[in-house]
A and B are shown apart, each in its own frame.
Chain A
């Protein structure tokens, strides 16, 4: 693997992981809509 390929892989994985975890945690923390009625 070239340095450029490693760099692109690392940046892409980091960005995707960050947003996936961020939104997944937000969903888990949000009470089901039935509880808010």
Chain B
């Protein structure tokens, strides 16, 4: 399971999120989120999955339906299909970047072209344009997606997980070598180094308690924890559904969670930021990650480091990006399984038809990310699916598990067959703390005001309305602070705001369509029962 959890989020997303959200200001909410939300939710999801598996369900709608008598429970499970499908769409695109970088490392492309120039050109970025038609990137994306669908349709995901047992330790080992080499870079002594890598490391680890009061930082921290642990996605549920009634979930979940944190914080946090700071400078790194997902940072900087490794450079690049591809594909395969399982279990589709449908849907959504990357569609996918969607689903399932399924049955489900003693206080954490913390983070991020909360309440009493911050969820939806907001500019060209709104509407349409499929599946079942 650790092989599934460890992926591109550990090495590419975490460092970028840390820089984007203030370094040390991000890290405290991140670590608190891991302890109070990540670990408890891992247990909750494994328990829901194993419980649902007993009734033949391998996806979230059916599993949540079994947690209580209410008809609406299954619709909360729609998130468990939606986040997997929509995250897989842009995740496979990033995965394809790693594959392309394997090729370009081996062909020594980066000896002649700086990665900071190569990468935007590879993505088809052009000054002032919101569209891109990057021929090579599309080919790699198609190849990556085809490989994912083929592995899923042939039922080879298990084989990949077994291969990950060799690939993952290699990735960790090579990551450690990179981290040490990166920290040894010195301005003046090493060509191209503009700043000490320790400046970047200091930015990440300098404690800044200001982040504790910023709901957006909490949302980003919780979102990163959920993304990296695959919590709030529905893929853990699917995996656990295949376990037997008495099989351990407590130790497996704890072990996978802590191993993931080891890789993310100790390795992931020590590779990219120091190296990127060394070659680009901290200010450029902050600018490169501002406002977006920041996945691109590793592709802009690491080949520069490898270039200084002489004859070994092509192999180092190929090995690093190849291992990243391997880590990525174990995760993307896990994302494909819940939707495929839903179509098979609930709509009685054949396996091949279900996997091809997943592939076609991922292709269509993925191409939106590819073509509208410069307009911000990719970042919209990452925020609404990879952060907001995960937190929303986690909130729903935490409340349902603790308060509808009930903590007595819930605790029995978590501890049955456990190969470790689960500390008793986690029962109260799962029942009270986790739902409450997620609720506070969720609502806080939804309505975060400009300035202090007290002043915002005063503003309401003065009849001036709630001053939504531009980083709050509602502020994003309303484009607060974007004075030039419009879909078409003076020259008749579509704007970035149009791409943002269109992407949001598309994601909403996908969610509603999945809700319809769930409704249809249960209607079919009722007809069969009659």
Contacts and interface: CB of A to CB of B under 8 A. Distances in A.
B162 interface: no
Contacts of A12: 27, 31, 205, 265
B165 to A, nearest CB: 13
A16 B419 contact: no
Given A12-B265, A13-B265, A30 B248 contact: yes
B247 A5 contact: no
Nearest to A22: B258
Contacts of A9: 201, 205
A20 B262 CA distance: 7
B207 A16 contact: no
A24 B261 CA distance: 13
A27 B244 CA distance: 17
Given A1-B205, A13-B266, A33-B247, A23 B255 contact: yes
A29 B198 CA distance: 39
A30 B206 CA distance: 39
B119 to A, nearest CB: 29
A34 to B, nearest CB: 10
Contacts of A24: 255, 258-259
Given A27-B255, A33-B248, A2 B27 contact: no
Contact of A19 (B24, B248, B258, B266): B258
A2 B206 contact: yes
A14 to B, nearest CB: 10
B419 A8 contact: no
Contacts of A22: 258
A23 B258 contact: yes
Contact of B207 (A5, A13, A17, A20): A5
B459 interface: no
Contact of A16 (B247, B261, B420): B261
Contact of A20 (B24, B202, B258): B258
A30 B251 contact: yes
B404 interface: no
Interface residues of B, number: 24
B254 interface: yes
A8 B248 CA distance: 34
A30 B205 contact: no
Given A20-B258, A30-B248, A30-B419, A5 B266 contact: no
A8 B266 contact: no
What's the dominant secondary structure at chain B's contact region? helix
Contact of B251 (A4, A6, A8, A23): A23
Contact of B261 (A1, A20, A33): A20
A5 B420 contact: no
A22 B257 CA distance: 12
A19 B31 CA distance: 14
A1 B201 contact: yes
Contacts of B27: 8, 12
Contacts of B153: none
B265 A26 contact: no
Given A4-B207, A20-B261, A27 B202 contact: no
Interface string B196-239: 00100110011100000000000000000000000000000000
A5 B205 contact: yes
A33 B243 CA distance: 10
B109 interface: no
B253 to A, nearest CB: 9
Interface string B21-57: 0001001000100000000000000000000000000
A1 B200 CA distance: 9
B357 interface: no
A2 to B, nearest CB: 6
A29 to B, nearest CB: 9
A13 to B, nearest CB: 6
B259 A2 contact: no
Contact of A8 (B207, B252, B259): B207
A29 B359 CA distance: 40
Contact of A6 (B205, B247, B420): B205
Given A8-B206, A26-B419, 8 more contacts: A4-B206, A4-B207, A5-B24, A8-B207, A9-B201, A17-B262, A23-B258, A33-B244
6 contacts: A5-B205, A17-B266, A23-B258, A24-B259, A27-B252, A33-B244
